[in-house]
C-alpha cells in the first residue's frame, strides 16, 4: 500500500502541477495588463469619454429607382441615447418609423440593450430612391444619434442590399 501512495504522489506532480506566474507571460505581465486596463478605464471616466455606439448587420431590401425600401440593423449604445435621423444620398427622403410604419421623431436606445430596427419594429424608411438598389450592392448612410447629455454623433454606415437579414 505504501508503494501505491508514493506512486500517486509522484504522478500527481506531473499532471496537476500549478503553472508558474513569475516568468514571461506569467502573473507579473498579467498584473501589468490589469493595471494598464484599470488606468485606461479610470482615465476614460475622468476625462468624460464619449458614449460608444455599435451598429451590426445593416441591410436594405432591393427596390427600383423612385420606389421605397427600408433599412434594418442592430444598434447598441453604452449610455442612454436616441437615434434622431438617418441621411443618405441614395434616397430623396429618409424617416424613422414605428412598428406600424408611422413616422416618429426618434428611436430610444437604452444603455447596453440591442435595439433591432426590423420589420414589425421601429425602422428607417428610405423613399424616392435615386437609383435602383440591387441585391449585392451597398447603400451609404449616416446615422445621427443624440446622447442624454445633448451631444450629437454621426455614424457612417454602409448597408448591404439583401433579401433577408444576414443572421438568417
Measured over the CA atoms of residue 53, residue 96, residue 106 and residue 74, the dihedral's sign is: negative
pLDDT at 132: 96
Of the two residues 45 and 51, the one the predictor is more confident about is 51
pLDDT at 45: 46
Residue 23 has pLDDT above 50, yes or no: no
Contacts for 113 with CB less than 8 Å, ≥ 6 apart: 76
CA distances from 10 to 1, 2, 6, 20, 167 (A): 14, 12, 6, 19, 52
pLDDT at 40: 46
Q: Where on the phi/psi map is residue 41: left (φ > 0), alpha (ψ -120 to 50), or beta?
A: alpha
Residue 163 CA, distance from chain mean position: 22
Adjacent-strand bridge partners of 143? 86, 155
Query: Among all chains, which residue has been given the C-alpha cell 408611422?
Result: 102
Single out the residue of 98, 102, 106, 144 nearest to residue 122, CA to CA: 98
In this structure, what DSSP letter does residue 51 have? P
- Across the range 6-16, mean pLDDT stands at 43
pLDDT tens track for 79-105: 999 999 999 999 999 999 999 999 999
Amino acid at each position: 500500500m505504501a508503494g501505491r501512495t508514493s506512486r500517486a504522489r509522484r504522478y500527481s506532480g506531473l499532471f496537476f502541477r500549478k503553472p508558474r506566474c513569475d516568468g514571461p507571460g506569467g502573473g507579473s505581465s498579467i498584473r501589468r495588463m490589469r493595471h494598464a486596463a484599470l488606468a485606461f478605464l479610470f482615465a476614460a471616466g475622468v476625462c468624460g469619454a464619449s458614449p460608444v455606439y455599435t451598429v451590426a448587420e445593416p441591410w436594405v431590401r432591393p427596390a427600383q429607382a423612385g420606389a421605397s425600401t427600408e433599412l434594418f440593423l442592430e444598434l447598441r449604445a453604452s449610455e442612454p441615447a436616441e437615434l434622431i435621423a438617418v441621411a443618405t444620398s441614395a434616397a430623396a427622403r429618409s424617416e424613422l418609423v414605428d412598428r406600424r410604419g408611422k413616422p416618429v421623431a426618434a428611436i430610444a436606445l437604452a444603455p447596453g440593450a440591442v435595439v433591432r430596427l426590423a420589420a414589425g419594429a421601429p425602422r428607417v424608411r428610405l423613399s424616392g430612391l435615386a437609383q435602383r438598389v440591387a441585391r449585392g450592392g451597398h447603400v451609404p448612410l449616416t446615422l445621427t444619434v443624440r446622447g442624454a447629455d445633448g451631444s450629437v454623433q454621426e455614424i457612417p454606415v454602409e448597408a448591404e442590399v439583401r433579401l433577408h437579414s444576414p443572421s438568417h
